[in-house]
Amino acid sequence: MNKKRFFATVAALGVVTIGLAACGNGGGSASSSSSSASAKITAVGSTALQPLVEKAASNYQSQNKGVNISVQGGGSGTGLSQVQEGSVQIGNSDIFASQQSGIKASKLVDHKVAVVGMTPVVNKDVGVKNVSMDQLKQIFTGKITNWKQLGGKNEKITVVNRAKGSGTRATFEAAVLNGETAVKSQEQDSNGTVQKIVSTTPGAISYLAFSYVNDSLQALSIDNVKPTDANVETNDWKIWSYEHMYTKGQPNKATKEFLAYIDAKKQQNGLVKKMGYISIHDMKVSKDANNNVTDNKN
């Protein structure tokens, strides 16, 4: 009986191994066959950038039959690390590769495809519509804790921050906090959730990309500058960042054509604006990874 059981176990393990091996082979052959049939581009990364790239990809594919583009989310960190390892062609990111630890930025080529503006938003009940940059900093570092101190309602400030390491937070902290550490507070990682929380929580403050600001919340002006596309283009509004599409080294032909398609005037003025981004060509200034802003004319 024992012998038989032993035999059965060996047989079981054998079948498992063969099964796993077969799986591996099957997968390998399937992917190689599809790449020979047509150009396959995979773009992974930032969930914020995903809708834009996805829409652009589906438009592009309807014009160029042979190309198969797959656009997925997963977060900026995932996008950058996967493109660095060469497992995908394009890594979408909200932040500069050099700002992400564990990424060798020199190996990656940056393609900036859009600009996104961000604005502090508050719950409608706080009674404040304008703050100074310094006040904003003090709110997020926990020094100002009541809206009364800013001339608003007597109400405790509930800070809702964005997830550590997310592109939105990196941009906001670089523009507002001046190297100070934010107060420990609630954190959310997506625009939609933040929008919902701020609009329903009395006294809440957070920050959102322009396209997510709606009637249910109050966007704040900073030093009497309104959060508008025009102000971002001149850097009068300081909180903005690029949306990047990174490739490892120079892109191959199909990828290059797709990136050129997104960068073209038609897409920049059409799709990019419709999705709530600011066209990269409209910017009158440019910003580098260390947050230094230079005028484009010089």
Partner 1 sequence: MDKDNIQVRLMKSSKATREDYFGKTICYVCIGLITVLVGCILYFITSRGIATFTQNHVKLGQFLSGTNWNPGMLDSHGNPEVGALPMIVTSFGVTILAALVATPFAIGMAVFMTEISPKRGTKLLQSVTELLVGIPSVVYGFVGLSVIVPTVRHIFGGTGFGILSGTLVLFVMILPTVTSLSVDSLRAVPVHYRQASLALGATRWQTIRKVVLKTATPGILTAIIFGMARAFGEALAVQMVIGNAVLMPTSLVSPSSTLTSQLTTQIGNTVMGTMQNNALWSLALILLLMSLVFNLVVRVIGNWGKHKYES
Partner 2 sequence: MNPKRSNQIATGTIFGLVVIVVLILIGLIGYILFNGVPNISWHFITAEAQAFSAGGGIRDQLFNSLYLLILTLLISFPIALGAGIYLSEYASDNWITNVIRTMIEVLSSLPSVVVGLFGYLLFVIKFGFGFSILAGAIALTFFNLPLLTRQIEESLRTVPNLQREAGMSLGLSSWKTVTGIILPAALPGIITGIILCAGRVFGEAAALIYTAGQSAPVVDYLNFNPLSPTSFLNPMRPAETLAVHIWKLNTEGVTPDAHQISSGASAVLIIVILIFNLGARALGSYTYRKMTATK
Tell the smallest beta-carbon distance from residue 239 to partner 2 (Å): 19
Q: Which stretch binds partner 1 (CB under 8 A): 74-82, 108-116, 137-145, 225-233?
A: 74-82
Contacts of 164 (CB under 8 A, 6+ apart): 187
Per CB under 8 A, which of residues 129..168 are in contact with partner 1? 158, 163-167
Q: Answer with the entry of partner 1, partner 2, none that 115 interacts with (C-beta below 5 to 8 A by kind).
A: none
Per CB under 8 A, which of residues 196..215 are in contact with partner 1? 196-197, 200-201, 204
Applying CB under 8 A, among 42, 51, 54, 74 the residue interacting with partner 1 is 74
Q: Is 143 in the site for partner 2 (CB under 8 A)?
A: no
Per CB under 8 A, which of residues 190..219 are in contact with partner 2? 190-193, 196, 211-212
Rounded to a whole number of angstroms, the distance between the first and last alpha carbons of the chain is: 87
Token pair of 211, please?
A: 């396209």
By beta-carbon proximity to partner 1, the closer residue of 47 and 89 is 47
Placement of tokens 């609009």 in the chain:
199
> How many CB atoms sit inside 10 A of residue 143's CB?
13
Applying CB under 8 A, among 13, 37, 163, 264 the residue interacting with partner 2 is 37
Applying CB under 8 A, among 41, 45, 60, 73 the residue interacting with partner 2 is 73
Q: Which stretch binds partner 1 (CB under 8 A): 13-21, 22-30, 230-238, 266-274?
A: 13-21
Tell the smallest beta-carbon distance from residue 172 to partner 1 (Å): 14
Let me know the angle formed at the C-alpha of 141 by 209 and 190, rounded to the nearest 5 degrees: 30
Distance of CA 166 to the CA centre of its chain: 7
Applying CB under 8 A, among 63, 101, 292, 298 the residue interacting with partner 1 is 101
Applying CB under 8 A, among 102, 106, 215, 265 the residue interacting with partner 1 is 102
- In the chain, beta strands by DSSP E: 39-45, 67-74, 90-93, 108-122, 130-131, 158-162, 186-188, 204-209, 218-219, 221-222, 240-248, 285-287, 293-295
By beta-carbon proximity to partner 1, the closer residue of 65 and 184 is 184
CA distances for 74 relative to 49, 80, 209, angstroms:
11, 10, 19
Applying CB under 8 A, among 53, 77, 136, 259 the residue interacting with partner 1 is 77
**Torsion sign across C-alpha atoms 194, 200, 205, 208:** positive
Quick note: the x/- pattern for partner 1 over 54-73, rule CB under 8 A, is -------------------x
> How many CB atoms sit inside 10 A of residue 167's CB?
30
Q: Is 11 in the site for partner 1 (CB under 8 A)?
A: yes
Applying CB under 8 A, among 25, 193, 252, 294 the residue interacting with partner 1 is 193
Contacts of 111 (CB under 8 A, 6+ apart): 244, 245, 246, 247, 259, 263
Q: Is 92 in the site for partner 1 (CB under 8 A)?
A: no
Token pair of 53, please?
A: 């790239």
Applying CB under 8 A, among 71, 157, 160, 208 the residue interacting with partner 2 is 71
